[in-house]
Structure 1
Amino acid sequence: MAQPNIIKLANGQKGNLIKITSINLDGVMRRRLLDLGFVTGAVVEVVRKSPLGDPIAFRVAQTTIALRKEESEKMEGELVANGE
């Protein structure tokens, strides 16, 4: 059986679908992201990256949310589908 391709959300490319496996944030930011749908098992789509890679827009639970690279580097997931 093939090993899952685990990447940080910040390393995703436009169009990638990533299934969240871990969230390494604490406090208010963790609570806010959980409330927005960034939970373990959720599938997140990378919608757009700014030219310098910060911020990055993600689609989760029918909502598009831009996160700073600092936050998206602390979440990992399994690459489900490659984009463009």
Structure 2
Amino acid sequence: MKSNSADHTGITSLDHLEPGCRSRIIGIRAFGSLRKRMLAMGMVPGAEVDVIRAAPLGDPVEYRVKGYCLSLRRAEAGLVEVALEGQ
């Protein structure tokens, strides 16, 4: 069961963050070609990610990673584990 916020350790998935949040990637739970594509887009462990904004209906969401903007569907963002900045 997914929670709607970070647990007590500050670890959550990217799809749970609101615009204005900053986090650091700690892992990617995707496999195969999706994992390769996400890594190629800069979604690598250790990278900082800022949540910029969501589309009017909430999907996709725009993120800033490694100096450029990237849009991901919430389902894809749910596969990215992050630690909240300052945790």
For Structure 1 versus Structure 2, the TM-score category normalised by the shorter chain is 0.7 to 0.9
Q: Could you tell me which amino acid in structure 1 is paired with residue 38 of structure 2?
A: L
* Residue-pair matches, total: 79
Taking every aligned residue pair, what percent have the same amino acid on both sides? 35
Q: Could you tell me which amino acid in structure 1 is paired with residue 81 of structure 2?
A: E
Q: Does 1:80 align with 2:85?
A: yes
- 1:60 maps to 65
In the alignment, which of 17, 27, 44 is matched to residue 22 of structure 2? Answer: 17
For structure 2, which runs of at least 5 residues remain unmatched after alignment?
A: 1-7
- 2:4 maps to none
Q: CA RMSD in A?
A: 1.3
Q: Report deviation, 1:35.
A: 1.0
Q: Report deviation, 1:52.
A: 3.0
What TM-score, normalized to structure 1?
0.85
Structure 1 runs of 4+ aligned residues shifted over 4 Å read none
- 1:51 maps to 56
